[in-house]
Every structure is written in C-alpha cells, then in structure tokens.
Amino acid sequence: MQDTFSLALEARTTWANFRVALVASEGVRTGVVKSLADTAGATARRLGFITYPDATMPNLIADVPELIQQWSDGYAEGADAQTHYAAFLTDWATDRSEAEEDAQQMRAEAGESGEEIDSPDGAHLADALPPIDAATFRAVHSRITKMASEANRRCGQSYEYMVSLLCGMVEGMLDEFAPEERPAVVLVARSFGYLSPDELAAAEKEMADAGYCSHGLDYWTCPCGCFEN
C-alpha cells in the first residue's frame, strides 16, 4: 500500500499542476485541466480513506479547501467501512458459533448411532472463514461496492440480472485472493446479494421452471430475446 506521505505529496503536486494548467488555459477548464483537478481530488479522497482512524489531515493538503473536502469525504468513507468491518466480524463469529453447534450435534448423533465421523463438513466451516484485517476489508468492500453500483447501472432494473452481473464480477475478483482468503471475501460479497455459482444456477433453474428467464422476466416483458426460438 502506498504510504500516506507519498499520497499527500502526489495530491499536492497534482493540484499545483492543475493550478498551472488553469492559468495557462486562461481560466478555461479544458479536458487536461479537469483531469488534473479530478486526479488531485481522488488522491486526497483515497488518502483520507486509508488513514482512518490513525492519522490527522497532512499539512501538505490542509490549506487547499478542495482537497480538504475530498480528504474529509474519504475519511468519512473509511469510518463507514470500519462500521461494516465490525458487522463482518460479527457475522464471522456467528458463522463460527453455528458451525461449532452443527459439528457438536453431528458428533452427538453419530455417537448415538454408533457411527464414526472424522471431520463433518460443518466442523471446519468456521476455520475456513478467517477474519481479514480492517485494511483488507476496506479495500474489498470498496471494490465490491463499485461492482454492485456497476451491476445496478447495467441491470435494467431487474434484480435477478443485477445479482447475476455482480456474481460474475465477484467470481473474477476471487481469483486474485489466496484460497484461504476467498471464503472471507465471499462473506463480504454476500452482504451485496452475491450467490455462489451453484446457488445462482439453482436460482436460475427455479426461475426457468416458473416461466422466467435469467433476467427474472417473462415472455411478455423480456426485451433481450430470451424466449425466441
């Protein structure tokens, strides 16, 4: 991760380049001028996000109102992500508790019937969901938030299609993580409506059996040609 000083310096130098470009263009916000302003703001916003809650605003940007606002917005997003992280840890703990209860019940039932079980599936479910640190969670949550926004933009107001789009994007992202990290990432994605490939296939089959296409629409409402022979 880029250190906060480097980000602050990048935001300030980009802002300085923006001011120079603005003067050179005689106050006209050309594409280049706007791009520099947007980049400086985005960098300051990123800086605020990653430093929550451990740092105050760097002096390098503390005298530029526009960068102050972007940093503050990013800091607020970091605080919001921390709230979501706390909820994630609660969900993880709940999954762990339920998995242990299921494992105990399976062992008890096996003992009553005289069966031997080495490692019931539920017994290690919790161990497969290690908590991820706050910084990693923020990055994952931020990415999936953007994915969900993109899926929502493209879905044509069909929830089922939005879920399908989101699942495809999340599946592509999972390949970037080590196998032991993926269950934790999936747990984050589930709060946005993510379904596993098997769950998505089952949901689409249920819709098909009821006369709906993968977009969640019927013969009379789907504009995508799903019901054409």
Q: Is 191 a residue whose pLDDT tops 80?
A: yes
Tokens describing residue 167: 């699942």
Query: Which of the pair, 103 or 67, is modelled with greater confidence?
Result: 67
Q: Is 111 a residue whose pLDDT tops 60?
A: yes
What's the confidence (pLDDT) of residue 2? 63
User: Quick check: 186 and 141 in contact, CB under 8 A?
Assistant: no
The domain spans of the chain are: 4-83, 132-209
What's the confidence (pLDDT) of residue 113? 59
Q: For residue 150, what are the CA distances in angstroms to 65, 78, 135, 146, 217?
A: 30, 21, 23, 6, 20
What's the confidence (pLDDT) of residue 124? 45
What's the confidence (pLDDT) of residue 133? 82
Query: What percent of the chain has pLDDT above 70?
Result: 90
Q: What is the mean pLDDT of residues 197-220?
A: 90
User: Quick check: 69 and 62 in contact, CB under 8 A?
Assistant: no
Q: Is 118 a residue whose pLDDT tops 60?
A: no
pTM above 0.75, yes or no: no
**Each residue's pLDDT tens digit, 33-88:** 999 999 999 999 999 988 888 778 999 999 999 999 999 999 998 888 888 888 88
What's the confidence (pLDDT) of residue 115? 56
Helix-strand-coil split of the chain, %, nearest 5: 65, 0, 35
Interior/surface letters 47-72, b for 16+ CB within 10 angstroms, e for the rest = bbbbbbeeeebbebbeebeebeebbe
Main-chain phi, psi angles of 220, to 5 degrees: -85, -15
Residue in the block written with tokens 């709060």: 191
Residue in the block written with tokens 């430093």: 51
Q: What is the mean pLDDT of residues 81-101?
A: 83
What's the confidence (pLDDT) of residue 20? 96
**Each residue's pLDDT tens digit, 126-146:** 444 456 787 788 889 889 999
